[in-house]
């Protein structure tokens, strides 16, 4: 692709620098000159843009992404074409990717991993609610901004969800492909869930679960092997997260969460459990077996090795009461997750067996629609109030509406609920908190501070340092003299505050010789665009009359014009005696003089009558515009 830096795309986007290059497109940092904001501009490589299928794919990506609006998704602003270039303007997120973080820090502790996983999952849940698959989840597509926000982007392989979305060919990074994608080339929301689970494994274990020298080796393992517990590689991983990872990465799609919305609620519960210090409490999320798949389903909550698939006896009948007489346990093989709960193994075996038997006999009714049923409160963040009320309708709850400010959720959309999403609902009122927009607060007083002091004050007050603009000003060199909110106008909390820092006053060069003035101007980093000259009655020739900035305010490396004096505009008076009145008058006026004629002759004779006297002697120097009298008397 040719170098596009400096080019204006679509009569709107001024390209500043390359951010990233990929196999299909290059992403640039650009300035939207209409709205005066930075954007990430994604441009297809020209050899692909000429291919109509690629161009259509690119346009589809923009349309799919534009359907979504969520604090944890990279927003798409615009899409268009400029000659042979097809482009898409997206939200610019300054920071690093999750891949960068994993390279720098390796395995993350459980709390930090969930702090990163939850917002990423929240964005994915918004896509699933909108009926959109991502299909290319990987750490490279999770952006960690410098201001703490976490964004999921790059829906380049996205598709609308149906029951069996066909890929046509294997797509996505092989390390995160679900078994059904490898085996059948079809995907649904559970395929995204699987990829998210692999990412969580990688955050906790510091490595991917399957490795190989060739992509086909890794794909084979996804299709045929169970993902191991991350604690196998990092003993610090709590049993709770082992359980979560194994559920999300189950080889059978039916044994995973149905979509990211369901998974998000469980992740939020897991965070609450870890925060409360209950890191070995089961989430009870492993699916119970049905009669149809009894021969190959792992018994839930048994003291089994979670890294291996356990097969039930072929003679096991879910419809009759039976005892696992020959079932043996080895204490050395028990994981911490498996050792929790009931201390007596015999009792646990009996209870688990009874649960399986009751499931076969229809006792699952008690735990679903029967008196033992309960439901988790869904995550409603960034949904409309109407949508939230409809979603909560299945709980038959009393609903209250309240407002609260939010810096991350748009005005009019749901911020949170009380009780919080992920908690089980046992009755009572559910309060929906709706965003009233960002809370408006006063900016800190930073005028007169240096950049370091101003930055510390901005951060201390909960804001983010924006652009630092250095311009010439009467304020002392290095001091902040203006900033967002300096006039007392309240601004949204957590806003980015741009500051203006003084480069000192523009040098005063009026009256200096031209050479000295040029030296003084260049010494402060300014550039001279033009040097112009004009006559001056007050400034000597060769001295500067004025300095003219080409921009306002004048920034570092800015340009100026100099106006230099040619001195007063003087003319030597010629000898007009003996010339006719008309000839003398015309010659003197041509030199810039004002001519007064003293004669008693008719104007019809001015071409004949000659000048006898003139008020200024020949050789006298007068300024242009002075008066001279010629006389015929």
What CATH number is given to the structural domain containing 172? 1.10.510.10
The pLDDT tens digits of the residues spanning 300-325 come to 332 323 223 222 233 323 222 222 22
The pLDDT tens digits of the residues spanning 83-119 come to 888 898 999 988 888 998 898 888 999 999 999 999 9
Which residue out of 136, 188, 301, 482 is catalytically annotated? Answer: 136
DSSP states of 443-460: PP--TT--HHHHHHHHHH
Domain identity same for 165 and 100: yes
**CATH number of the CATH domain containing 543:** 3.30.10.20
Domain identity same for 275 and 198: yes
**C-alpha R_g of the chain:** 40
Contact 261, 121 (CB under 8 A): no
Distance CA 92, CA 143 (A): 10
Domain identity same for 34 and 73: yes
Q: Is 136 annotated in the active site?
A: yes
Q: What is the DSSP pairing of strand 491-492 with strand 544-549?
A: unpaired
Domain identity same for 196 and 99: yes
Helix crossing, 239-248 with 260-275: angle to 10°?
Answer: 180
3-state SS of the chain: helix, strand, coil percent to 5?
A: 30, 25, 45
Which of 417, 435, 453 lies at the terminal end of a domain, its last residue? 435
**H, E, C per residue of 312-381:** CCCCCCCCCCCCCCCCCCCHHHCCHHHHCCCCCHHHHHHHHHHHHHHHHHCCHHHHCCCCCCCEECCCCC
Domain identity same for 158 and 233: yes
Domain identity same for 472 and 621: no
Distance CA 181, CA 137 (A): 13
Q: What is the DSSP pairing of strand 496-502 with strand 464-471?
A: parallel
Counted domains in the chain: 6
Domain identity same for 205 and 175: yes
Contact 385, 434 (CB under 8 A): yes
The pLDDT tens digits of the residues spanning 340-372 come to 333 334 444 344 434 443 443 333 333 333 333
Domain identity same for 87 and 194: no
Distance CA 480, CA 571 (A): 52
Does the structure show a pLDDT above 80 at 198? yes
The pLDDT tens digits of the residues spanning 55-91 come to 777 777 777 777 788 899 988 888 888 888 889 899 9
The pLDDT tens digits of the residues spanning 380-411 come to 888 899 888 888 887 888 899 999 988 788 88
Distance CA 151, CA 120 (A): 6
Domain identity same for 99 and 209: yes
State pTM to two decimals. Answer: 0.46
**CATH number of the CATH domain containing 82:** 3.30.200.20
Range of 284-288, 342-346, 360-364, 536-540 with top mean pLDDT: 536-540
Closest to 449 in 3D by CA, of 430, 476, 484: 476
The pLDDT confidence band at residue 2, using thresholds 50, 70 and 90, is: low
The parent domain of residue 394 ranges over 375-435
Domain identity same for 101 and 246: yes
Domain identity same for 248 and 390: no
Is 32 part of a structural domain of the chain?
Answer: yes
Beta bridge partners of 496: 464
How far is residue 64 from each of residues 130, 136, 517, measured CA to CA in Å? 10, 14, 59
């Amino acid at each position: 692709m040719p170098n596009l830096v400096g080019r204006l795309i679509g009569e709107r986007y001024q390209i500043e620098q390359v951010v990233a290059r990929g196999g299909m497109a290059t992403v640039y940092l650009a300035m939207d000159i209409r709205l005066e904001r930075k954007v990430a501009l994604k441009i297809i490589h020209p050899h692909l843009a000429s291919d109509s299928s690629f161009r259509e794919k690119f346009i589809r990506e923009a349309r799919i992404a534009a359907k979504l609006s969520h604090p944890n998704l990279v927003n798409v602003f615009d899409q268009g074409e400029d000659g042979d270039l097809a482009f898409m303007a997206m939200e610019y997120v300054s920071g690093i990717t999750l891949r960068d973080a994993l390279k720098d820090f390796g395995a993350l502790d459980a709390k930090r991993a969930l702090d990163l996983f939850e917002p990423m999952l929240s964005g994915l849940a918004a896509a699933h609610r909108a009926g959109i698959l991502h299909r290319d989840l990987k750490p490279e597509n999770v952006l960690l901004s410098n201001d703490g926000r976490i964004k999921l982007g790059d829906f380049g392989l996205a598709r609308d969800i149906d029951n069996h979305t066909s890929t046509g060919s294997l797509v996505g990074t092989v390390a995160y492909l679900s078994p059904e994608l490898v085996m059948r080339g079809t995907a649904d929301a559970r395929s995204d869930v699987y990829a998210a689970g692999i990412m969580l494994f990688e955050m906790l274990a510091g490595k991917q679960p399957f490795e190989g020298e060739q992509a086909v080796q890794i794909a084979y393992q996804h299709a045929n092997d169970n993902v191991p517990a991350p604690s196998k590689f990092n003993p610090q991983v709590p049993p709770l997260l082992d359980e979560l990872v194994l559920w999300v990465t189950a080889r059978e799609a039916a044994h995973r969460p149905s979509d990211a919305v369901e998974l998000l609620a469980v992740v939020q519960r897991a965070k609450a459990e870890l925060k409360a210090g209950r890191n070995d409490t089961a989430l009870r999320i492993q699916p119970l077996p049905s009669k149809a798949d009894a021969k190959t389903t792992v018994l839930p909550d048994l003291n089994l090795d979670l890294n291996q698939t356990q097969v039930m006896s072929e003679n096991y009948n879910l419809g009759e009461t039976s005892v696992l007489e020959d079932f043996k346990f080895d204490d050395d093989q028990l994981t911490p997750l498996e050792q929790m709960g009931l201390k007596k193994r015999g009792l646990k075996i009996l209870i688990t067996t009874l649960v399986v038997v009751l499931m076969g006999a229809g006792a699952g009714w008690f735990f679903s629609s029967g008196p033992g049923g309960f439901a988790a409160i869904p995550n409603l963040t960034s949904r409309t109030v109407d949508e939230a009320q409809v979603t909560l309708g299945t709980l038959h709850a009393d609903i209250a509406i309240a407002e609260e400010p939010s810096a991350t959720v748009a005005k009019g959309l749901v911020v949170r609920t009380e009780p919080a999403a992920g908690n089980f609902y046992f009755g009572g009122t559910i309060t929906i908190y709706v965003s009233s927009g960002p809370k408006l607060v006063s900016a800190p007083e930073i005028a007169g501070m240096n950049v370091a002091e101003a930055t510390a004050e901005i951060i201390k007050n909960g804001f983010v340092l924006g652009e630092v603009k250095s311009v010439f000003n009467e304020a002392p060199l290095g001091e902040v003299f203006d900033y967002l909110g300096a006039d007392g106008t309240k601004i949204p909390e957590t806003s980015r505050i741009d500051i203006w820092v003084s480069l000192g006053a523009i040098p005063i060069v009026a009256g200096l010789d031209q050479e000295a003035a040029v030296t003084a101007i260049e010494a402060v980093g300014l550039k001279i665009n033009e040097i112009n000259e004009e006559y001056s009655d007050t400034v000597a020739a060769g001295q500067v009359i004025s300095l003219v900035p080409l921009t306002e305010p004048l920034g570092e490396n800015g340009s100026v014009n100099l106006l230099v004096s040619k001195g007063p505009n003087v003319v030597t008076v010629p000898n007009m005696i003996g010339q006719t009145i008309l000839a003398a008058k015309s010659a003197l006026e041509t030199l810039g003089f004002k001519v007064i004629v003293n004669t008693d002759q008719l104007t019809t004779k001015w071409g004949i009558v000659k000048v006898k006297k003139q008020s200024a002697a020949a050789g006298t120097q007068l300024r242009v515009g002075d008066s001279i009298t010629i006389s015929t008397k």
